Amino acid sequence: MAKFRGTEINPKNFHRSQIKYYVVLILMAIFMMLPIVYIFNHAFKPLEELFAWPPKFFVSNPTWKNFSELFKLSSASGIPASRYLFNSVIITLVVVVTSIVVGSMAGFALSKLKFKLKKPLLFANNIALMFVGTAVVIPKYLIIEKLGLIDTFWVHIIPGLAIPVGLFLIKQFIDQIPDELIEAAKIDGASTFRIYWKIILPLIKPAIATIAIVSFQATWNDASVSTNYVNRESLKTFAFYLQTLTTQTNVVAGQGIAAAASLIMFIPNLIIFIFLQRNVMNTMVHSGIK
């Protein structure tokens, strides 16, 4: 094994030569944690600290008032904040689950099955990766209108069922699975669905976790659907409500409420990434089967 000054380059146990790396990594971790710490502190600041000069990084007199005011405040139509939050939770859960099912099935088909439209569908998905959301706002609106989804609950769900980047990642991950494994299962009499359920899904858990994060963040943080396609307040999401907080009340009074709402929006993203980030890294390096 390679040596460096009498020690292993990557020793199994702690070695004093590693101290310099730990120091650098700890400093970097602290620096990257600062925005997270700030978001938590900012949400608990009373109004006078939110507008204090010079600004304070840490809260001096934490309060729950911002959160209580958030859920007491109703929009002009009388819809409580809890309704927006409920909509976001239900929509996000449905989209994440269905996008995983659709993405994994489509990825399996495009990677391991043979059919006539395989190459055109894969080409269309790769082309879709080139377009940002802003570039397809008008075509998307026309399609949604033709489908009769305007001002319905389904407009939040159906367009998010198939994510091009998710399908691409899953397909690339499944490509790493040897074809011999699929052929052996067919020889044993396994059906296509059984191969998908018993072989493919257990082997692509890192890719599924990645799609879960991508789909969750795209849905949970999206306010454009409520803005462009929904008129009824009772069908809009918490992300949309967050955008309106500083305009429903006056700009000054709405800052504390907006800070509390931002923390509520941020916590689920933080939790899901903490639990699934290792799987994300595995997917990005395509470490399916070695």
For residue 94, pLDDT over 90 is answered with: yes
Length of the chain: 290
Residue 212, class by beta-carbon neighbours within 10 Å (0-12 exposed, 13-18 middle, 19+ buried)?
buried
- Average pLDDT for 160-179: 86
pLDDT of residue 4: 45
ω before 139 within 30° of 0 (cis)? no
User: What are φ and ψ of residue 52, in 5° steps?
Assistant: -70, 145
Please give the pLDDT value at position 93: 93
Highest mean pLDDT among 72-86, 239-253, 275-289: 72-86
Share of the chain above pLDDT 90, in %: 10
What structural domains does the chain harbor?
69-284 (1.10.3720.10)
Total-model pTM: 0.78
- Interatomic CA distance for residues 236 and 230, integer angstroms: 7
User: Of 72-81, 137-146, 176-185, 216-225, which range is least confident?
Assistant: 72-81
**Tokens 């209108």 sit at which residue?**
145
Average pLDDT, the chain: 81
- Confidence at residue 289, expressed as pLDDT on a 0 to 100 scale: 40
Q: Using CA of residue 44, residue 49, residue 51, residue 53, what is the dihedral sign?
A: negative
Neighbouring C-beta atoms of residue 282, cutoff 10 Å: 17
Instruction: Specify the pLDDT at position 76.
Output: 52
Predicted local confidence at residue 279, as pLDDT: 64
d(CA 185, CA 195): 7
Give 199-254 pLDDT, tens digit per residue: 898 888 888 888 888 888 888 988 888 888 988 888 899 888 877 775 555 555 56
pLDDT at 108: 92
**For the chain, how far is it from start to end, CA to CA, in angstroms?**
22
Phi-psi region for residue 51, left (φ > 0), alpha (ψ -120 to 50) or beta? alpha
| Residue 11: predicted pLDDT | 61
- What one-letter code names the amino acid at 240? F
